[in-house]
């Protein structure tokens, strides 16, 4: 566990190719399954010095430099890094990011909740159309057949 606290100013000061810190949410020393079993699926922001790794990064240094000075968790997780890549992180650990720092770490806040609600509403509306349009067409077809055969 890291004992050093990194401030927002330190994170911003180390956002160049010569000295690069990135911020990630990690589960700590427990494995994911241990955290899950303990009901502790909370993450804490940790700061890593990736300066020496820039030249070795398979995706190129631009990918990491783009995440400098901000929360890089989403970008890191979206790529789907291997266990070997994750095993490199403890050697690069600098410390924990200060609680309540200026940097807004990405969490499921109000904006994601409202976006999620908007997406759910759109999906429900789309689902309703996908149900009622074919049903209406089928009803219109049977009505046309019934009335066009002169069954009245």
The answer to whether residues 61 and 45 touch, using CB atoms and an 8 Å cutoff, is no
CATH class of 5-108: alpha beta
What's the pTM value of the predicted model, to 2 decimals?
A: 0.56
Assess whether pLDDT exceeds 80 at residue 124: no
The pLDDT value given to residue 110: 47
* 81-96 average pLDDT score: 85
**pLDDT, the chain, mean:** 74
Sign of CA dihedral 35, 64, 17, 107: negative
Cα 11 versus chain centre, distance: 20
* 134-145 average pLDDT score: 92
Separation between Cα atoms, residue 57 and residue 143, nearest integer Å: 66
SS3 content of the chain, % helix, strand, coil (to 5): 55, 15, 35
Separation between Cα atoms, residue 104 and residue 64, nearest integer Å: 18
At 15-37, the pLDDT tens digits run: 888 888 888 875 444 344 433 44
How many other β-carbons are positioned within 10 Å of the β-carbon of residue 106? 16
DSSP secondary structure, 10-53, as one string: HHHHTBSSSSBEEEEEE--SS-HHHHHHHT----EEEEEE-GGG
The pLDDT value given to residue 108: 44
pLDDT grade for 41, boundaries at 50, 70 and 90? very low
- % of residues, the chain, pLDDT over 70: 65
Separation between Cα atoms, residue 68 and residue 22, nearest integer Å: 6
Parse the chain into domains and list their residue ranges: 5-108, 112-152
Assess whether pLDDT exceeds 60 at residue 109: no
Separation between Cα atoms, residue 58 and residue 27, nearest integer Å: 24
């Amino acid at each position: 566990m890291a004992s050093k606290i990194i401030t927002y100013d330190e994170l911003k000061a180390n956002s160049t190719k010569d000295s690069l810190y990135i911020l990630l949410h990690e589960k700590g020393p427990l494995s994911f399954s241990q955290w899950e079993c303990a009901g502790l699926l909370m993450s804490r922001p940790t700061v890593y010095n990736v300066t020496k790794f820039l030249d070795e990064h398979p995706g190129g240094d631009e990918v990491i430099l783009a995440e400098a000075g901000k929360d890089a968790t989403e970008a890191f997780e979206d790529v789907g890094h291997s266990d070997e890549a994750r095993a490199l992180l403890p050697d690069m650990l600098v410390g924990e990011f200060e609680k309540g720092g200026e940097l807004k770490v990405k969490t499921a806040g109000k904006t994601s909740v409202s976006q999620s609600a908007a997406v759910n509403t759109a999906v429900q509306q789309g689902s309703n159309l996908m149900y009622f349009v074919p049903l209406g067409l089928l009803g219109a077809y049977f009505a046309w057949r019934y009335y066009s055969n002169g069954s009245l």
